[in-house]
Amino acid sequence: MPLAWAGLALMGACGGFNNGPLEAGTVRGRILGAEADVAVVSVLGQPELRARVSSDGRFELGGVPATSVELFLVASRTRAARTKVVAQGARITELGDIDAPLGAFITVRLRDSAGNVPPRGEVEVEGTALDELEMDASSGEVRVGPLPEGCYTLEVKADGLEEVEEEVCVRQGEELEREFVLREDDLGGDDDGGGDDDGGDEGG
Amino acid sequence: MLPPERAFVSRPCFRVVLWLAFASLCACGAASVGEKGRAVRVRLDSAELASAHEGERHALLIGINQYEDASWHGLRYPGKDAEDLGRVLADPRRGGFRSVTVLTRPEQTTRAAVLQALRTLAARPWNPKDVVVIYVSGHGTLARDARGDLQRYLVMRDTRFRDVQGTGLEMAALERELEHLGSRRRVLVLATCHSGTGKSLLPPAVLEELERTKGAFPPRPLEEDSRASLVLSASDWGETAREDDALANDIYTHFFVQSLDGRGDRNRDGAVSATEAHDWARRHTWTYTEGRQRPSARMTEVGADPVLLAGALTQPGQPEVFSYSPRLEGFTLKVDGVDAGELPGGVALPEGSRKLGLHKGGQLLWEDTVALRAGERRALDSLLREVSPGPQRTVALEVGALGFLDARSRREVLPPTALAGVGLRLGGVLLEQRLDVGVDLAAGQGRRALLLDVGGTVPVRHRVLMLGVTVGPSWQWGRLGLSTGPRVAALWLERSFQLDLLSQDERYLTVWPGWMAGVSWRLGTRFVLEAKGQLLWAYVPVDGRTRAVGFGGLFLGGGYRF
């Protein structure tokens, strides 16, 4: 009998519901004094959700989870900000104008256990758009920034050496230096994090 | 003995028109009567009672002892029956009738003479409040009429056994004469019968036919067709009416007359009504004949009974409950748990709230607490009708809410929706009146917000349309009713999004099985309050995956029974 009921129900059913489009929205705003060539907006913790900024500073970031998130904004070569937003499903959330303050910079110095500059060193700020920052091969340094005030996890790696992570907290406009000694990787790991073709230095 | 054809005038100043037709027929066969009109609750105070019973009282009493055709054996007491009754009715201290005409002499009791007497009576000016009593004591018989139908006849003095149709007084003819009377208070008392025994004789052909008949006694009882307000019979249909030498009367008539001296005043209001007199005579006839003769009564205007035969109303009487309906015959009326009498009949009760119950064979048919006041007369039939659980149709307007049983589906798929609708319930239409069928249609909409799993909220307009069919039993305890049963509902759900990035309507249509349970409370005869709950079970596709979910609804409604 229950099977008969189920059959009847299924036979008579059509249509259905889909909540997918309701689970993400768009965040829109304008960054004052933005430098379009370097400016970027991303969701903190989900750096794949990022958007470029137009020359007038406007940006539109889609696919933002319909919940409370924090945006990581790089406005220019020296300014950056973090801002919380509650994205609304299938709707546009207007942030208005954002005036980003001076960002902090961290100069990361990489060395191997012998005190030499390691090959193809890279630095990444986890959860942000500041990733794959290549080390200057001559100085063995990477200038990371601008970073909005807050705490971050720096991930430092180089070919054939063990990856190192360290949490660093910065204040607005602060300049920090950090030296990382990378030990040899017994497993010979190379996560292929560094490329040498574009030579971009986000820290500028 | 009263001189024949003497008109007794007890109150010359009254314009009394008494429409009483007494035909004592030893009727042979139980009969049912189709009730005409509705039972009414009668509540009268002294002044109203006095006013209600204004009017004159007249009587035509016929008693036939001897017959010209020797085939009809002579009877001893019909003439005396008529005279005894006439004496009591004419007595100013008892009946107080304006006129009492007694026909007993040979020349007065031929068919033509009786018809002439009826026409003379009809020629009087009548008032609807007048009371008329027609009483017949003599032989009854059955014969084929001109169309070949078996009919009841009263045997007149000159009625020939071989030609009953041409020489007897057909009940239909008596009915036609009664129709000419302008009173609404007519009582027909029949101290005869048609059983072929006792005070009746049947032609051989009819008797042979009856002996071969296994069903009910063929011709319909007089009471079924009579348009008289009240028909009182000395015996039930198919039984024998008897004379008794010790009483020197027809047995029923003896006790009927006895009641009019005041003993029949059951409710102590100072007067003896026709039904009080009959109940007195019925009870004593039953006892005297040791159950072999059961006088019967049929009322065509149940409840009113404003026919007073003796005395005058001096005060509101004790409240009475009664029934002369064949469908309640044999039931025992209990008052506050104590036997008060067997139906048909009536009983007088102390004033106040009384718990009344009808029992038969150890089973309870009906029970209710009824507030009774002095001077009130309540027909049990009307009390039963108020709560009768028989086949009924109820149409109801309902409001309620319908939603998923699980919180997650309510949160993420569709919020509860307020509904308004209409329902039709047909009581006892399936399985020999054991199951009801209900059909309901409800629709509603709302604007709420979905709370998604990721944390955000999304406003949605949602609509629901439901068409359901329920089959199941119902039970009634007084005014309280319960019903339940399986249910199938076609459900159409829609949710609509009008958002910055999404303008979309989504719909789902399915047929769901489920269960319904309801409780009702009757307000009077026609109206009922209902509360219903229903559970449904279904598969609902959400995000490409099918969920097995429960759905629940609660509804409140008001219904009209018809």
Of A10, A18, A67, the CB nearest to B455: A67
| pLDDT of A15 higher than 70 | yes
Shared fold status for A22-98 and A104-182 = yes
**If you measure CA to CA, which chain B residue comes closest to A18?**
B543
d(CA A144, CA A135): 10
Q: Judge: A17–B509 Cβ closer than 8 Å, yes or no.
A: no
pLDDT value at residue B385: 63
Which residue type sits at A16?
A: G
Which residue type sits at B283? R
Q: Pick A91's closest partner by Cβ from B495, B501, B544.
A: B501
Chosen for mutation from A17, A88, A91 (greatest number of chain B CBs closer than 10 Å) is: A17
Residue A112 has pLDDT above 50, yes or no: yes
Among B508, B512, B543, select the one facing A20 at the smallest CB separation.
Answer: B543
User: Which of A 126-145 lie inside 8 A of B, CB atoms?
Assistant: none
Q: Which of B456, B495, B508 sits opposite A88 (nearest CB)?
A: B456
Measured between beta carbons, the chain A residues lying within 8 angstroms of B540 are: 16-17
- Whether residue B454 and residue A66 make contact (CB cut-off 8 A), yes or no, is yes
Task: Please tell me the predicted confidence (pLDDT) of residue B305.
Answer: 52
On chain B, the residues whose CB falls within 8 A of the CB of A8 are 488, 511, 513
Contact with chain A for residue B504, Cβ under 8 A: yes
Which chain B residues touch A19 with a CB distance below 8 Å?
Answer: 412-413, 450, 452-453, 542-543
Q: Where are the beta strands (DSSP E) in B405-502?
A: 417-430, 435-451, 457-472, 474-477, 480-498
Distance from CA of A62 to the nearest CA of B (A): 10
Each domain of chain A, given as residue ranges in start order, spans 22-98, 104-182
Is-contact B330 B342, C-beta < 8 A? Answer: yes
Winning range, highest mean pLDDT, from A77-86, A192-201, B193-202: A77-86
Q: Check if the beta carbon of residue B322 is closer than 8 Å to that of residue B347.
A: yes
pLDDT at B73: 85
CATH assignment of A104-182, among 1.10.580.10, 3.50.50.60, 2.60.40.2070, 2.40.128.120: 2.60.40.2070
Contact present, B333 and B340 (Cβ < 8 Å): yes
CATH of domain A22-98: 2.60.40.10
Question: β-strands B185-191, B230-233: how paired?
Answer: parallel
Partner residue facing A16 (CB), from B452, B501, B508: B508
Does any CB of chain B come closer than 8 Å to the CB of residue A45?
Answer: no
- Indicate the average pLDDT of chain A: 86
CATH code for the structural domain at B393-561: 2.40.160.20
CATH architecture for residues B1-310: 3-Layer(aba) Sandwich (3.40)
The residue that leads in pLDDT, B462 or A4, is B462
Neighbours of A7 (CB within 10 A): 10
Chain A neighbors of B500, CB-CB under 8 A: 25-26, 90-92
Q: Measured between alpha carbons, how far is A159 from A194 in angstroms, rounded to an integer?
A: 8
Q: What whole-number distance in Å separates Cα of residue B219 and Cα of residue B149?
A: 8
A9 and chain B in contact, CB less than 8 A: yes
Say if B413 is an interface residue toward chain A (CB within 8 Å): yes
Chain B interface mutation, best of A19, A43, A68, A92, highest count of B Cβ atoms under 10 Å: A19
- Are A21 and B501 within 8 A, CB to CB? yes
CA-CA distance, B133 to B62, in Å (whole number)? 11
- Angstroms from A20 CA to nearest CA on chain B: 7
Give DSSP secondary structure letters for B25-61. Answer: -B-BS-------S----EE--HHHHHHHT-SBEEEEE
For residues B495 and A17, is the Cβ–Cβ distance under 8 A? yes
What was the pLDDT predicted at B437?
94
Residue with tokens 């470029």: A52
**DSSP β-bridge partners for residue B367:** B357
Q: What integer pLDDT is reported at residue B208 of this predicted model? A: 62
Residue with tokens 């429960």: B550
Domain with CATH 2.40.160.20 in chain B: 393-561
User: How large is the average pLDDT for residues A148-163?
Assistant: 93
How far does the CA of residue B540 sit from the closest CA of chain A (Å)?
7
Residue of B nearest to A2 (CA): B513
Question: Which of B467, B543, B549 should be substituted to probe chain A, the one whose Cβ sees the most A Cβ atoms within 10 Å?
Answer: B543
- B544 to chain A, any CB pair closer than 8 A? The answer is yes
pLDDT at B35: 26
**Per-residue pLDDT at B423:** 95
Burial category of B246 from C-beta neighbours within 10 Å (exposed 0-12, middle 13-18, buried 19 and up)? exposed
Residue-by-residue DSSP string for B134-202: EEEES-EEEEE-TTS-EEEEEPPTT-BTTBHHHHSEEHHHHHHHHHT---SEEEEEEE---SSSSSB--
Rounded to 5°, the CA angle B264-B266-B267 comes to 140
Task: Provide the pLDDT for residue B82.
Answer: 95
> Which residues of chain B form CATH 2.60.40?
320-387
Closest chain A CA to residue B414? A17
B515 touches chain A (CB under 8 A): no
Chain B positions touching A66 (Cβ under 8 A) are: 452, 454-456, 458
Q: Which of A13, A17, A67 sits opposite B454 (nearest CB)?
A: A67
Q: Are A128 and A152 in contact (CB under 8 A)?
A: yes
Tens digit of each residue's pLDDT (9 = 90 or more) over B107-156: 999 999 999 998 898 888 888 888 899 999 988 888 888 787 778 888 99
Residue B456: predicted pLDDT: 78
Record: contact A19-B500, CB cut-off 8 A: no
Name the maximum alpha-carbon separation found in chain A: 80
For the ranges A5-9, A37-41, B203-207, B472-476, the maximum mean pLDDT occurs at A37-41
Task: Tell me the β-bridge partners of A102.
Answer: A79
Q: Token digits for B338?
A: 């104590």
Q: How many other β-carbons are positioned within 10 Å of the β-carbon of residue B538?
A: 26
Contact residues, chain A, for B509 at CB < 8 Å: 12-15
Q: Which residues contact B208 (CB under 8 A, 6 or more apart)?
A: none
Cβ contact B510–A13 (<8 Å): yes
Mean local confidence (pLDDT), A78-96: 94
Cβ-Cβ contacts under 8 Å, A26 against chain B: 500-501
Q: Are the Cβ atoms of B508 and A86 closer than 8 angstroms? A: no
**What is the per-residue pLDDT for B180?**
77
Residue A61, pLDDT > 50, answer yes
Residues B280 and B263: beta-carbon distance below 8 Å: yes
Both tokens of A44, joined, read 């903190």
For B338, residues 6+ apart whose C-beta sits below 8 A from its C-beta are none
pLDDT at B4: 39
Provide the number of CB pairs (under 8 Å) joining chain A to chain B: 113
pLDDT band at A14; cut points 50, 70, 90 = confident
- Closest chain B residue to A85, measured at CA: B456
Q: Does B407 touch chain A (CB under 8 A)?
A: no
Nearest beta carbon to residue A19 from set B507, B540, B542: B542
Residue B539 to residue A13, Cβ atoms within 8 A = yes
Token digits of residue B242: 């008897």
* CB pair distance less than 8 Å for A16 and B497: no
Please report the pLDDT score of residue B194 as a whole number.
Answer: 59
pLDDT band for A140, please (50, 70, 90 cuts). Answer: very high
The answer to whether residues B115 and B173 touch, using CB atoms and an 8 Å cutoff, is yes
| Segment A168-192 mean pLDDT | 81
Q: Which CATH class is domain B320-387?
A: mainly beta
CA distance A144 to chain B (A): 33
Nearest CA in chain A to B542: A17
Q: Give every residue of chain B whose pLDDT is below 50, as ranges.
A: 1-44, 196, 212-228, 301-304, 390-391
Across the interface, of B412, B454, B542, the residue whose CB is closest to A16 is B542
Q: Does A13 touch chain B (CB under 8 A)?
A: yes
What residue ranges of chain B are covered by domains with CATH 3.40.50.1460? Answer: 1-310
- Contact between B222 and B27 under an 8 Å Cβ cutoff? The reply is yes
Judging contacts by C-beta atoms under 8 Å, the chain A residues touching residue B515 are none
